[in-house]
Amino acid sequence: MDAVKLAIIGLALLLAAASAIATGVARPDDAIIVAERVWPILLFVVSVTIVAELAAAAGVFDAAAHRLSRVGRGRTAALWAAVVILAVAATAFLSLDTTAVLLTPVIVAVVRARRLDPLPFVFATVWLANTASLVLPVSNLTNLLAADLLHLDPWEFLALLGPSAVIAIAATVGVLVVFFQRSLHGTYPDVTPPAAADPQLLRIAAIVVIVLLPLLVSGLAPWIPASAAALVLLGVFGWRHPRALRWRLVPFSLVVFAAGLFFAVGILETLGSGALIGAIAGTGTDLLSLWRLTGTGLISANLINNLPAYLLIEPVAGSPERLGALLIGVNAGSLITPWASLATLLWHRRLRVEGVDVGWTRFVLMGLVGAPLIALTAVIPLAR
């Protein structure tokens, strides 16, 4: 699904929502409530995308990946472990789309330079982009919505879902090791570090990212430090490398798509969709009830995409534990179908550009094994 298709879908959803309001099916107040809730989230998405794109253009991810490869000291398994660490950190602080879009081509370049099979590494990036997106509110759009609903700061969110996130990440690593254990043996040659086109720009961009990361968990609304970081980098690039400043830095298609989903699902809720979803998702916070909710989220995400799945089921979650179980289902469970997570589609598109062939049949079969195992085990700490 390319950017144009995303934008077209988003515009169609926005038109449908506007038509519902114009014909009296929904009230204008419903749209205002949705708008008040989502504008900070969409502003954060735009800002953090600009930060990630400009940091990548400055060579921050290339430098980080090379430094981690040196930690591996020529051992393939150690390099893979370093990629896991980088993917988890990038996802947790800069969102799953950053890992899928910007980190993936860097990892491909790193492993190709060392003549290694890219598949264990690129599967680590896409699976961890989804499963490690449970760590912080800023890791995923769904998390931002949940944190806003429950009025959780980053530390409270981490207290709720931190143990589940650790289990999801560990289970992801365990499953991938089983799938790719043969490819993770052996060694690789050392290579020359990548040369930065503008070392001063690289240093400034790295400092901005390093300062931004703790601010994202400081308790400030995420859009505030992200917007400030984006403005700083835009100014620095305007000074050092103005040709890099293009409109494509702004993820217009993603914003239109997300806005369309928010408004369309918000209006569906006013029309009574919650009753049907509630009958399917059930109630309760015991383990079996949470598994039921997680399974509902997992199946829905793999059928229609994780963001609309979350929005549809959110009204019946009912408690922090149930909302956490829903996030596990729609985030960590989005590993089966290509469209379950936008990050997965973006990841696959980047791989095609890089000439790496990953068939969807293999992706689906691996996901059918990994997604239920990862999601259901991650729910266990939430049970009451």
Tokens matching residue 310: 């979350």
Tokens matching residue 379: 């729910």
pLDDT higher than threshold 80 for residue 194: no
pLDDT for the residue 123:
96
pLDDT higher than threshold 90 for residue 178: yes
**Structure pTM?**
0.81
Closest CA to 356 of 191, 185, 127, 122: 122
pLDDT higher than threshold 80 for residue 82: yes
The residue-averaged pLDDT of 105-113 equals 83
pLDDT for the residue 98:
82
Helix, coil or strand: residue 247: helix
Q: What is the secondary structure of 78-139 as a DSSP string?
A: HHHHHHHHHHHHHHHHH-HHHIIIIIHHHHHHHHHHTT--SHHHHHHHHHHHHHGGGSSGGG
249-269 residue pLDDT tens: 887 877 887 788 777 776 766
pLDDT for the residue 162:
96
pLDDT for the residue 120:
95
Q: What are phi and psi of 283, to 5 degrees?
A: -140, 175
Percent of the chain at pLDDT > 70 equals: 93
pLDDT for the residue 269:
65
The residue-averaged pLDDT of 72-87 equals 88
Report which DSSP code applies to 355: T
| Contact assessment for residue 103 and residue 86, using Cβ atoms and an 8 Å cutoff | yes
One-letter amino acid of 162: G
Q: How far apart are CA 369 and CA 165, in angstroms?
A: 19
The residue-averaged pLDDT of 125-144 equals 94
pLDDT for the residue 271:
61
Report which DSSP code applies to 357: -
